[in-house]
Amino acid sequence: MVRICTIPFIILLFVSVLGISNPVSAGVINPDISVIGQIISKRTDDAALEDARIPTLDLGETELVFDSYLNPYSKGLFVLTAGNEGVETEEAYINIFKGLPGGLALKGGKYRIGFGKLNPAHPHAYSFIESPRVMLAMLPGEDGFNEVGVQASVLLPTTGSWASTISADVIKGSSFHPDETKSSAGWVGRFSNSLLINDTVPLDIGTSVTQGTNNAQWKTKTMVYGADIKTKIPLSGLTNLTLQGEYFYNNSDVVFDSTTGDFDANKRKGFYAFADLKFWERWNAGSIYDQYQPMENKDLTNKTIKYFVGYSLLEETTLFRLAYEKFMPEESDTVHTLMFQMVFSMGPHKVHQF
């Protein structure tokens, strides 16, 4: 009985919150539309690749972004990506940010999971080229932790410049078992804190955790814990230094006997840390280091150091980046890669989130 009464009530609540109880004229205002191209050229001596020692040029992923208010209480966003593997919906979600009680916000659809600082951002927004290897090694998903899910987040009541947010997501969980068709839900939790030091220096500290099923047949789990820190120190009106790091701990049950379902716990850790110096009005340079224990053999440690320099003509409309990466897997030869990336963005400039 309770169930029967509750469902219409929730629907009614949503309808009233979203302000869709009355029909409104469609097409009053078009959404913001942006197109982002990311041409990349590489030369690597990775012997495992067919085009080792041959400079390559690739269109990379092109993003088509639609972004708009849906009504005074919510926004919608679609990000379609086109690349070598076809067209994909990278993100498609609604975010209800207003009208809910107690500083609550809801988000639903497909989105980059807010685990740590880097994963929620699109890679073209990074200061460097490509995600740190530790992210791909430690987080679920083959190309970033990106899921269909529902998120509730609360801005906690605090004092001064201290900002605290708690969020919880229920997700489809397909990133934990990409090869399986059977779905098994997972979840994500995050607690993030931010404050201002000296009124100009922000400091963000956060922790994240996620769990999902990596083998639907035997219901074995993967659990990942993360901790992150970020600050940005203004050095002058034109220059600043960004420091950021994340630590990951991955505990996966790995089935070693598919007939009995017997499994071992595979516990691995890794981290990255980077410094990015904006040393002139349109120039930045820095270095990122990461290391992790690979899934295949946790007794090994793979390390990467990358140096990068970037130039932006007019914010993110035209960006040029050059990077040199030295990947040092413990069990095989060091790989040297030189990368050049050109990012060009048409459409409205997006606001710079810290």
Partner 1 sequence: MKKLLISLITFIFIGSIPVFAAPVKIIAALPDLGSIASYIGGDKVDVISIGKNNSNPHSIEVFPSYIVKVSRADIYLKVGLSLDQWSNELIDGSRNNKILVVDCSHGISVLEKPAGKIDASLGDVHPEGNSHYWLDPSNGIIIANNVLSALEKVDPLNSSYYEKNYANFKNETENRITGWKSKMLKLSGKKIISYHSSWVYFASVFNLNIAGNVEPLPGIPPTGKHLSGLANLIKRDSISILLQESYFPDKAPEFLANQTGIKIFKFAPSCSDIKRESYFKHFDEIIDAISR
| CB 199 to partner 1: min, Å | 8
H or E segment at 108?
Answer: strand 104-112
Other residues' Cβ atoms within 10 Å of the Cβ of residue 143 = 16
Q: Which is nearer to partner 1, 152 or 273 (CB)?
A: 152
Shortest reach from residue 319's CB to partner 1, in Å: 14
Burial of 280 (0-12, 13-18, 19+ CB in 10 A): exposed
Give whichever of 112 and 133 is closer to partner 1, judged by the CB atom.
112
Specify whether the CB–CB gap between 306 and 323 falls below 8 A.
yes
Question: Least distance to partner 1 from the beta carbon of 67, Å?
Answer: 12
Coil/strand/helix, residue 159: coil
Local structure of 16: helix, strand or coil: helix
Task: State the minimum distance, in angstroms, from the CB of residue 246 to partner 1.
Answer: 17
Q: Summarize as ranges the residues that interact with partner 1 (CB under 8 A).
A: 75, 97-100, 103-105, 155, 158, 161-163, 165, 192, 194-196, 200, 202, 204, 232, 237-238, 280-282, 313-315, 317, 346, 349, 351-354
CA 152 – CA 95 distance, rounded (Å): 10
- Nearer to partner 1 among residue 54 and residue 235 (C-beta): 235
Beta carbon of residue 104, minimum distance to partner 1 (angstroms, whole number): 7
Nearest residue (CB) to partner 1, 187 versus 279: 279
* Tokens 């979203």, residue located: 18
Among residues 8 and 237, whose Cβ is nearest to partner 1? 237
In this complex, which beta carbon is closest to partner 1, that of residue 98 or of residue 326? 98
Q: Quote the strand ranges of 142-239, DSSP E.
A: 146-155, 163-171, 186-197, 201-215, 220-234
CB of 348 to partner 1, least distance (A): 8
Contact 124, 317 (CB under 8 A): no
Nearer Cβ to partner 1 (43/232): 232
d(CA 151, CA 109): 9
How far apart (Å, rounded) are the C-alpha atoms in residues 264 and 257? 10
Q: Hey, what are 332's tokens?
A: 């095989």
Residue placing its CB nearer to partner 1 in the complex, 195 or 322 = 195
Q: Contact 308/338 with Cβ under 8 angstroms?
A: no
| Sign of the alpha-carbon torsion through 52, 56, 59, 60 | positive
Q: Tell the smallest beta-carbon distance from residue 195 to partner 1 (Å).
A: 6
Nearest distance from C-beta of residue 97 to partner 1, angstroms = 5
